[in-house]
Chains A and B, each alone.
Chain A
Amino acid sequence: MYGGGNTFEGIKTDSIAQEDPVKLAEFEARIERGEKIEPTDWMPALYRKQLIRMIEQHAHSEIIGALPEGTWITRAPGFKRKISLMAKVQDEVGHGQLLYSAAETLGKTREQMIDDLITGKSKYSNIFNYPAFTWADSCFISWLVDAGAIVNQLANAKGSYGPYCRALDRICAEESFHLKYGHHCVIYLATGTQKQRDMFQEAINRWWTPMMHFFGPSDKISAHTEVLMRWKVKMSSNDDMRNQFLDMYVPKIWELGFTIPDENLKKNPETGRWDYTEPDWEEFKRVINGDGPCNKERLEVRRIAEERGRWVRQALKKAQTKYTVPLA
C-alpha cells in the first residue's frame, strides 16, 4: 500500500551532466521505445538512486502498512473476516518481500534497507503513522487506502524498470482482493446497525486528512520532476492521482450515506476535476519527520521483530551460501 507520498522531495539533477552522453541517449531511446530497463543495463546514477528510494519506500510502506490493520487481526469478527484479514495482512508482508527483492536488483541489500527503516533514515507512507482505533478503521484501510494505493501502483506498473513492474503486476492482482474485501466489510457496516454505521463514519472523519496526504504534496508546492517523468520513474503527478482517487471513490462513499469532512469537496463541472480544501501540509511534514501519533510505535514494533528474529537468521546462515544480488 503506497501512494507516492514524498518520494521525490528534494532531488538534485546535477549528476546527469556527468553521465556519458552516448549511453544516456541509448538509455533514453530505450525508454522512449517503451522497452523496460533490466538490472544489468547501464543506467544513470540518478535513475538508480531514485528507483532504490522509491521501491524501498514502497516496500517499507507494505511491512509497516501491515501494522495498523494488524491491530485487529486477533479481533476480527467472525470466521470469514478472521481468515480474510489474516490473508490480507499476510499479502502486505508478501508485497514487502517482492518489493525488497526488486530493489535489491539495484544493488542495495534487504538488510540495509530494513536497517535504514528502523533508524529512521528512509521513509514510508505517512498514513501508517495514524492509529486504527476501531474495527472500522481497519475496514477504511482495506478499502480506501488500498484503493489509493492501486491508483499509484497501476500507474507505476507502466514505469520503465522491469523488476519493479513485474513485482507490481503481481501486487496489483492481489490488491483486487484487498479492495473487494475492504468494500465488502464497509457495505456490511453501512447496511448494519446504527452503531456499525457510526463506527465507519467516525473512521472516515479520522482518516480523511491522512488519505488526502497519501498521494503527496500538491503539485503547486512539490518538487519538479520532469526528468523522472521522462525516465518513467514517476508516472503521474500527485494531484492527478489524488483526483483520480476522488473521482472513483467519493461517489461510492456518498452512495453509502456517509459524509466526508470537507465542505468544499465537490466535482467542478467546468474543470471536470475535484475541488477540495487543501489538507494541512504542515501536519504532513511534521508526521513524515517523526512527530505523528504512531511513528515511534511502528518503528519500535519493526525493530523488535528484527531483533527477536536475529538469532533465527544467524542460525540459518551457512558458510556455503552467500548473499547474491537477485537476477531479475
Chain B
Amino acid sequence: MNETALKELLYKIADDQLILGHRNSEWTGFGPLLEEDIAFSSMAQDKVGQSHALYQMLQTLGEKDPDTVAFMRNADQFHNCILVELPNGEYDFSLIRHFLYDTAEAIRFEMLSESSYQPLADISKKIRAELRYHTLHANTWVKQLGSATEESISRLQRSLDSAMPYALGMFEESPFEKDLISSKIFGGEQALKERWIKKIEAVISQTQLRLPDWKALQPVTGGRTGKHSEYLQPLLDEMSEVFKIDPTAEW
C-alpha cells in the first residue's frame, strides 16, 4: 500500500468536511426557518465529526493529533477544494453548495466503502448512512426551491452558475491517482465525477433550473495542492483564535 497516497486522500476529504462543516455552522441561529436552522446545523456537526474521524485515522498513520492538525496548520497546508471555503453568501448559495458537495461526498463514501484499506472501508459504511440524510435533505430542498417562485428559481440558478466551476474543482486529481486506483484504495476522481454528473442531472431535471454546458466550464482547481482563495486563511485564523491563546492549554 502506498501510504503517502492514502494520507493525501484522507487529508483532502477531511479538510473538505472540516471547512464546509465550519462554514455551515455559521448558519446556526440565523437560518431561514427554525426547522431548517436545526437540520442545517446537524449536518454541519456531522461534517465536523466525520473530519475528526478521518484525522484520527491519519493519526494512526503517524500524523499529529486531530486538534493540532485542524487548528494549527496554515491555509497552504490545507487540501480542501476551494468550493468549501467560499463565504456562505445567502441561503441559496449555501444550499446549492451543500447539494453539489454532498452529492459527490455520498458517492465518494459509497466507493470508499469498498476500499482495500479496511479501516477506511469500515468508517465509510457509517458515513454513507449519515450522508443518506444529507442528500435526501439537499434533493428535497433543491426540488422545492428550484421550481417555486421566480425569485427562488433565479436565486438558485445564479448560485448554481457561480458554484459550478468550483464544484468541478472537487475532482482535481491527486498526483497518486493511479496508485490509489491500482491498489483499490479509491476508484478515482474521474469515475466519481462521472457518477456525480448523472446524479446532479437527475435532480436538476426535476426543477426549472438549467445546468451549464459541462464542456464549456473551466474547473477552479488548486485547493488540493494548497493554493487557496483569499477566504481560507481568515477562516482558519478565526477558527483557531481561542485555541491559539495557548495551544498547550487544555480547553
Interface segment out of the listed B101-109, B123-131, B146-154, B161-169: B146-154
CB neighbours (8 Å) of A79 from chain B are 48, 52, 66-67, 70
One of A22-30, A81-89, A281-289 contacting the partner:
A81-89
In chain A, positions 165-203 with a C-beta closer than 8 Å to chain B are 185, 188-189, 192-193, 195-196
Measured between beta carbons, the chain B residues less than 8 angstroms from A221 are none
* A139-176 contacts to B (CB < 8 Å): none
Question: Chain B interface residue count: which class?
Answer: 35 or more
B152 interface neighbour in A92, A189, A311, Cβ under 8 Å: A311
Stretch with Cβ within 8 A of A (4 or more), from B23-31, B191-199, B214-222: B23-31
Point out the residues of chain A lying under 8 angstroms from B151, CB to CB: 311, 314-315
Query: What class of interface size applies to chain A in its complex with B?
Result: 35 or more
- The minimal Cβ–Cβ distance linking A174 to chain B, given in whole angstroms, is 12
A305 with B30: CB separation less than 8 A:
yes
Contact A90 B251 (CB under 8 A): no
- Whether A78 contacts B243 by the Cβ 8 Å rule is yes
Given A70-B28, A75-B238, A82-B48, does the pair A93, B145 have CB atoms closer than 8 Å? no
Selected contact of A93 from candidates B37, B44, B238, B249, CB within 8 Å: B37
On chain B, the residues within 8 Å of A74 by CB distance are 22, 25-26, 238-239
Q: In the complex, what residue of chain B is closest to A69 when comparing beta carbons?
A: B29
**B49 interface contact, C-beta 8 A:** yes
Chain B hits for A309, CB < 8 A = 31-33, 91
The minimal Cβ–Cβ distance linking A41 to chain B, given in whole angstroms, is 27
Question: A66 to B91, Cβ gap below 8 A?
Answer: no
Question: In this assembly, does B35 line the interface, its C-beta being within 8 Å of a C-beta of chain A?
Answer: yes
Q: Does B61 sit at the interface, judged by CB under 8 A?
A: no
Given the known inter-chain contacts A79-B66, A83-B45, please indicate yes or no for A195 contacting B246, CB distance below 8 A: yes
Binds B, one of A6-14, A94-102, A237-245, A264-272: A94-102
B91 contacts A86, C-beta separation under 8 Å:
no
Within the assembled complex, what's the spacing in Å between the Cα atoms of A328 and B204? 38
A87 to B41, CA, bound (A): 8
Q: Considering the complex, which residues of chain A in the window 52-88 have a beta carbon less than 8 Å from any beta carbon of chain B?
A: 63, 66-67, 70, 72-79, 81-83, 86-87
Distance between Cα atoms of A118 and B241 in the complex (Å): 32
Instruction: Determine whether the beta carbon of A75 is less than 8 Å from that of B241.
Output: yes
Contacting A at CB under 8 A, from B42-58, are 42, 44-45, 48-49, 52
Chain B residue contacts of A110, Cβ below 8 A:
34
Known: A94-B38, A192-B249. A313 touches B45 (CB 8 A): no
Contact between B45 and A312 (Cβ–Cβ < 8 Å)?
no
Select from chain A the residue with minimum beta-carbon distance to B42.
A90
* Complex Cα–Cα for A110 and B249 (A): 44
Given the complex, which residues of A lie within 8 Å of B152, measured CB to CB? 311-312, 315
Docked complex Cα distance between A100 and B66 (Å)? 39
Roughly how many angstroms separate A110 CA and B251 CA in the complex, as a whole number? 38
Q: CB distance B249 to A312 under 8 Å? A: no
B229 lies within 8 A of chain A by Cβ:
no
CA distance A63 to B33 in the complex (A): 12
In Å, the complex CA distance between A192 and B49 comes to 25
Choose among B25, B52, B145, B251 the residue that contacts A312 (Cβ–Cβ < 8 A). B145
Nearest 4 pairs of A and B residues by beta carbon: A309-B32, A315-B152, A315-B148, A77-B251
Query: Can you sample 19 A-B contacts with CB below 8 Å?
Result: A72-B242, A73-B25, A77-B240, A78-B71, A82-B22, A83-B52, A86-B28, A86-B44, A89-B41, A92-B29, A93-B31, A96-B34, A195-B249, A305-B29, A305-B30, A309-B32, A312-B91, A314-B149, A315-B144
Binding site for B on A (CB under 8 A): 63, 66-67, 70, 72-79, 81-83, 86-87, 89-90, 92-94, 96-97, 100, 110, 135, 185, 188-189, 192-193, 195-196, 301, 304-305, 308-316
